Amino acid sequence: MKKDIILVGASGRMGQEIEKIINSETEFRILYRVSSSFDNDAENRKSIQDIDLGGREPMVIDFSTAGIFGSVVNWCRENKVPLVSGTTGLSNEDFVNLENAGKTIPILWSSNMSVGINVLRKLISQLAVIKDFDFQVEDFHHNKKIDAPSGTAITLQNDLINVLDKDLPQVVSVRAGGIFGIHKINAVSNEEHIILEHRAMNRSVFANGAVFAAKWLKDKPAGCYSMMDALQ
């Protein structure tokens, strides 16, 4: 039997891409699509609070906005529903809420669901040997992306700070055209310029990652997980 999925942020670009993949899946099916632009009907809900599970045991995949993220986490915790989320632009309070919810339900949050970006994160540990270089993180996205720097750029920046044990300049963010996502780590000395770069060629790389994450998470115990955990 297919596992039910509640897709939050279903009307957005990522939500639509995830729905396409789930509709071609043998393991999952959409139970409800949630978006503030929807009216409540058999398949859609304006808010996750409008959902009555009626004994069903779904998972939530959330690509919504920081403004409703807290309510999504709280609903999942109250209803004992596992959560996969790629929502970015979160506050410290959101992360505290996420950590508390992880005590009772399995949660996988990642600023970037692509396999490649998480491979890049693993490479960052190798940069400790050139910690005296100058470093600069850059992110490039489409002109409709709300948050800048991106959640992924912040993650890369934090990874670098932990590895290098030093402060770094602020992330440089560019919002232009229809760029799906480019992230660069520049390491520069007087003699060399090393670039670690990841380019997303389309949104399906993130959507496939989200569905992969849901498959990995569905039988896990309560806890806070990341894509790095899923790729071990």
Task: Please give the tally of structural domains in the chain.
Answer: 2
Of 82, 148, 64, 151, nearest to 114 by C-alpha is: 151
Whole-number pLDDT of residue 123: 96
Whole-number pLDDT of residue 232: 84
Q: Are residues 100 and 55 in the same domain?
A: yes
Q: In this predicted model, what pLDDT tens digit does every residue of 72-112 receive, in sequence order?
A: 999 999 999 999 999 988 999 999 999 999 999 999 999 89
The continuous run of DSSP H or E covering 90 comes out as none
Q: Are residues 128 and 106 in the same domain?
A: no
Q: List phi, psi (to 5°) of 167.
A: -70, 150
Whole-number pLDDT of residue 146: 85
Burial class (CB in 10 A: 0-12, 13-18, 19+), 37: exposed
Q: Are residues 140 and 187 in the same domain?
A: yes
Q: In this predicted model, what pLDDT tens digit does every residue of 144-192 receive, in sequence order?
A: 998 899 999 999 999 999 999 999 999 999 999 999 999 999 999 999 9
Residue 223: pLDDT band (50, 70, 90) is very high
Of 8, 204, 223, nearest to 98 by C-alpha is: 223
Give the active site residues: 141, 145
Q: Are residues 67 and 168 in the same domain?
A: no
Provide, for the chain, the percentages of residues in helix, strand and coil under a 3-state DSSP scheme, each rounded to the nearest 5.
35, 25, 40
Q: Are residues 83 and 134 in the same domain?
A: no
Mean per-residue pLDDT, 41-52: 90
Give the whole-angstrom CA distance, residue 75 versus residue 2: 22
Of 163, 112, 176, 174, nearest to 135 by C-alpha is: 163
Q: Are residues 38 and 76 in the same domain?
A: yes
> Is residue 226's pLDDT more than 90?
yes
Q: In this predicted model, what pLDDT tens digit does every residue of 131-142 receive, in sequence order?
A: 999 999 999 999
Q: Are residues 150 and 209 in the same domain?
A: no
> Is residue 7's pLDDT more than 90?
yes
**151-164 helix and 115-123 helix, angle to the nearest 10 degrees:** 20
Q: Are residues 138 and 215 in the same domain?
A: no
